[in-house]
Structure 1
Amino acid sequence: MITAAPSLPSSEGPILETDIPSRLDRLHWGRFHTLVIAALGITWVLDGLEVTLAGAVSGALQASPRLHLSDDRIGLAASAYLIGAVGGALYFGWLTDRLGRKRLFNITLLLYLVSTVLSACAVDFWSFALFRALTGAGIGGEYAAINSAIQELIPARLRGRTDLLVNGSFWLGAAAGAGGAVWLLQPGFLPPDIGWRLAFGIGAILGLVVLLLRHWVPESPRWLMTKGRLDEANEILRDIEARCGQGDPPADMPRIRIRARPDAIGFVELARSLMRDHPRRVALGLVLMIAQAFFYNAIFFTYPLVLGRFYAVPADRIGLYVLPFAIGNFLGPVLLGRLFDTVGRKAMIAGTFAMSGLLLILLAWLFVTDRLDAESQTIGWSVIFFFASAAASSAYLTVAESFPLEIRALVIALAYAVGTAVGGVAGPALFGHLIGTGARIQVGGGYVFAASLMLIAAGVELWLGLNSEGRSLEDIAKPLAGVD
């Protein structure tokens, strides 16, 4: 399994040869992979739950005898969640590349679990905002640690559809949040200061179950490989092969050569790798992430405002309109995901971004000309986001598989942070202002702008996109520790 080049100076560390990537990519799908998806993919379910709950319980937070939040403070609490998510992604993404995937995806889940329980126990605005920021930090940190681990544990031929399915599960959480809020907040069912607190408890219960499942998910053998810990990596991999029902690998498995490097990558080397070695991939990743983040956050975070102002939908009925929207978002990655591994990344990424933009332009025209009601508007959004959900998931897929293993988590964190900071802040702020004018033409113009970003992203994908379907991660981006 391991050979060393003794002629190299010892100060540089030995050169090791291993077949670990090839062995991971040859695996049949087994119960191990299902466990990975269940235990790690829950992150997106939790994020969808938290984002939906934040909007669904806003009326209850205003009516709470203890908190009695104003519209401005509800907005500030939502901003605190986003700020926490950005900070958590950057900090925990940096730690994930230094300390390993397993340690960090347990730490970030614990942070989320404790913080969401504390959110339910908040006694005033400041404690609520603080606990929402810490909840966001846990979720943001999860994105970096989990995306890295899933990319590195799933066979190359199945990586696209799996990644899209996991990212699309955000909408299972959104559906659970909407349904749970409708049930717990129905008039007369619970005291006004209890229902919203129990709603936040939904995430804590899910998080506790998943924390137990994660005990059985190992450290990434690929990450251990880059640290020179090949004995440990091979031991874990032999256990994975046994759990997948596969015997010993053949002797002629393709191998890669790496230089053992137990120390962490510094920021200077990170910048050099990104800006000198992979500038086109950086540009592509940022364009895709910003476009989908603006498109999603602008529409989803202002969804209740549109239904209330233009269609007079009561606040306690908003959750019912979120459910079909969530279903369309979940079905997109589920039904289209396989095509990202067969038809190919570039065609499907460009196609889903372009289709989302074109359909939103059509819906904008129908909206401005007053040809829709609440039900048809929701159906239109559901169809659009059938494609947009797959497009957004593919943006995360592109970033996660396009960069060297040693900096993967931090790059994911940087892309997530930039996308969330630009799209998550600018999008809702712009659309909140446009909806506040009460003018359909203003809102329609905002829809056309969001659609234009998606069409631009489709063009950039056709120009700079990679044909990475079925390829090993080490083939797409050579590890920084790699040796020719």
Structure 2
Amino acid sequence: MSERASGTVISTKIPARLDRLPWSRFHRRVLVGLGTVWILDGLEVTMVGSVAARLTEKDSGLGLTPGQVGVAAAIYIVGACIGALFFGQLTDRFGRKKLFMITLGLYIVATVATAFSFSAWYFYLARFFTGAGIGGEYAAINSAIDELIPARVRGRVDLLINGSYWFGAAAGSGLVVFLLSPILSPMIGWRLAFGIGAVLAVLILLVRRHVPESPRWLFIHGREEEAEKIVRQVEQEVSELTEEQLSEPEQEIRVRQRDKISFVEIAKVAFTKYPKRALLGIALFVGQAFIYNGVTFNLGTLFSGFFGTPSALVPIFLVIYALGNFLGPLLLGRLFDTVGRRTMITIAYLGSAVLTLPLTAIFYFQWGGEAAFIIAVCATFFLASSGASAAYLTVSEIFPMETRALAIAFFYAIGTGLGGVVGPLMFGSLIGTGDRGPVAIGFLIAAGVMAIGGLAEIVLGVNAEQTSLEDIAKPLTAEDADDDHQLD
């Protein structure tokens, strides 16, 4: 008997029951247990970038060359892409909770290993597995969050969580001022940077133990009793806190349960049944990865090389930059649920592209010095950060549940592999000329790539605000059941 015909067809109201829940302590646990990992990622990337100069010193205990530091950064990105793809398909197959525990565990082990680095090859290896853990987190966490958070607030919560990366980046820049101070030995400070990340990850892991598996994933994979138990417990908790009786929703979904769904089938459905949505995902991810990786990785060099900013002051400007990025999703997130996805994503992408024009002029003509430049950068990335966070939200929403984690992983890998590599290489080579003209052209190219993402959203965008995930993209197993129903 084929896999398609072997499962039991069931009807369930679990998605509707989850979506009608009022905001509660349960949702806050999800927010803290799953969402705070983005703070960790921001902390990790920023601290590593900031201590890079220390790693090249002979008395650091590592003594890398500047070229080797760049290789390590590239290896981290490669690890993140491979980790996203590898763990993404495992997340769809074996469950959200199992994988978001494994990926965070991998991150902890690899980060601790990094702190004990003694040679270039060992440092490369540790950075690869650290990146793999973070890449796996992107797939496992975004899929779990979107399946546990009510539809009416899914947009703002998702943007806040993804945007919290920049809160971690601000904290990382601030910590570096202490870690690189003369108080600490050159051999100790950079190792503590990695140790801090590992300690925070352990704390997150302890909270994460109390976050349940996605009931949506459970009932599709033949474990409806577990799904019912989790939902009943959450409903009971919410009723006791609000002292209100929850109404029974009418909306029901009919699915054929399946123990497993092949990787080939998942990929085929995600990228042949929804080609326009796939094109949209690529445009959004490449756009944000290009401008973000290109500018962020080189922002310190821009200040020191073109504005003569003392190295001790560079972290302060990076803190300001990071906080501006965090404020975007924090202040605009609600609008993605009210005004709507298509309108707000378009504004974020096209708006940041337009704001890059005065930014370029300020940089090229040296208007107002470094103060005017950081203000222009913050204004541009206030919008760009909302768009970047919305890219993850978009690909998590617009594909069937069985492909959700893989879709996130795929587009993250494509965006990072294309925009995330090309952007830094381009900006790095343009900055290397020492001439403001080529760098200004780089800013304009980044604006054009972001504008393409905005235009793609206008044409291909999906109005997913306050809508059940199952209505945005019907689960494959629901289509199985519908087919059977038509044959009955």
Smaller-chain TM-score bracket: over 0.9
Q: Superposed, which structure 2 residues align to 1:462-473 within 5 Å?
A: 462-473=458-469
CA contact (8 A) 1:182 1:317 kept: no
Give the TM-score normalised by the residue count of structure 2.
0.95
CA contact (8 A) 1:298 1:428 kept: yes
Equivalent residue, structure 1, for 2:188:
194
Equivalent residue, structure 2, for 1:93:
88
Equivalent residue, structure 1, for 2:121:
126
> Structure 1 runs of 4+ off > 6 angstroms?
none
- Write the deviation string for residues 47-78 of structure 1: whole angstroms up to 9, x where unpaired: 11111112100111111422111110000010
Matched, 1:218 2:215: no
CA contact (8 A) 1:23 1:253 kept: no
Residues 112 and 383 from structure 1, CA distance in 2 versus in 1: closer, same or farther, beyond 3 angstroms?
Answer: same
Per the TM alignment, residue 399 of structure 1 is displaced from its structure 2 partner at its CA by 0.4
Query: AA paired with 1:128?
Result: F
Which among 63, 71, 93 is matched to residue 68 of structure 1? 63
Matched, 1:265 2:259: no
Per the TM alignment, residue 145 of structure 1 is displaced from its structure 2 partner at its CA by 0.1
Query: AA paired with 2:151?
Result: A
CA contact (8 A) 1:96 1:145 kept: yes
Residues 258 and 318 from structure 1, CA distance in 2 versus in 1: closer, same or farther, beyond 3 angstroms?
Answer: same
* Aligned counterparts of 2:248 and 2:120: Cα–Cα separation in 1: 63
Q: Superposed, which structure 2 residues align to 1:36-47 within 5 Å?
A: 36-47=30-41
Matched, 1:303 2:260: no
Equivalent residue, structure 1, for 2:486:
none
Residues 373 and 237 from structure 1, CA distance in 2 versus in 1: closer, same or farther, beyond 3 angstroms?
Answer: same
* Aligned counterparts of 2:474 and 2:172: Cα–Cα separation in 1: 41
How much is the aligned-residue C-alpha RMSD, in angstroms? Answer: 1.5
Equivalent residue, structure 1, for 2:135:
140
Secondary structure class of the residue paired with 1:359? helix
* Aligned counterparts of 2:71 and 2:429: Cα–Cα separation in 1: 16
* Aligned counterparts of 2:249 and 2:103: Cα–Cα separation in 1: 39
Per the TM alignment, residue 375 of structure 1 is displaced from its structure 2 partner at its CA by 2.2
* Aligned counterparts of 1:252 and 1:101: Cα–Cα separation in 2: 25
Q: Superposed, which structure 2 residues align to 1:152-231 within 5 Å?
A: 152-186=147-181, 188-231=182-225
Per the TM alignment, residue 245 of structure 1 is displaced from its structure 2 partner at its CA by 2.4
Which among 11, 18, 27 is matched to residue 24 of structure 1? 18
* Aligned counterparts of 2:294 and 2:271: Cα–Cα separation in 1: 30
Query: AA paired with 1:99?
Result: F
Secondary structure class of the residue paired with 1:470? coil
* Aligned counterparts of 1:132 and 1:181: Cα–Cα separation in 2: 19
Unaligned 5+ residue runs, structure 2?
Answer: 483-488
* Aligned counterparts of 1:64 and 1:460: Cα–Cα separation in 2: 49
Secondary structure class of the residue paired with 1:261? coil
Secondary structure class of the residue paired with 1:216? coil
Per the TM alignment, residue 272 of structure 1 is displaced from its structure 2 partner at its CA by 2.5
* Aligned counterparts of 2:332 and 2:239: Cα–Cα separation in 1: 29
Which among 451, 461, 464 is matched to residue 457 of structure 2? 461
Equivalent residue, structure 2, for 1:312:
308
CA contact (8 A) 1:43 1:143 kept: no
Which among 281, 289, 292 is matched to residue 293 of structure 1? 289
Residues 126 and 372 from structure 1, CA distance in 2 versus in 1: closer, same or farther, beyond 3 angstroms?
Answer: farther
Secondary structure class of the residue paired with 2:10? strand
Which among 91, 102, 117 is matched to residue 107 of structure 1? 102
Equivalent residue, structure 2, for 1:50:
44
Which among 355, 377, 402 is matched to residue 381 of structure 1? 377
Percentage identity across paired residues of the two chains: 50
Query: AA paired with 1:42?
Result: T
Matched, 1:364 2:360: yes
- Write the deviation string for residues 148-186 of structure 1: whole angstroms up to 9, x where unpaired: 000000000000000000000001110111011111102
Secondary structure class of the residue paired with 1:194? helix
* Aligned counterparts of 2:3 and 2:419: Cα–Cα separation in 1: 49
CA contact (8 A) 1:221 1:234 kept: yes
CA contact (8 A) 2:266 2:402 kept: no
- Write the deviation string for residues 344-375 of structure 1: whole angstroms up to 9, x where unpaired: 00000001111100001111122111214222
CA contact (8 A) 1:64 1:193 kept: no
Segment of structure 1 superposing worse, 25-34 or 64-73? 64-73
Per the TM alignment, residue 14 of structure 1 is displaced from its structure 2 partner at its CA by 2.0
Unaligned 5+ residue runs, structure 1?
Answer: 1-7
Per the TM alignment, residue 266 of structure 1 is displaced from its structure 2 partner at its CA by 2.9
Matched, 1:242 2:242: no
Equivalent residue, structure 1, for 2:485:
none
Which among 408, 412, 435 is matched to residue 412 of structure 1? 408
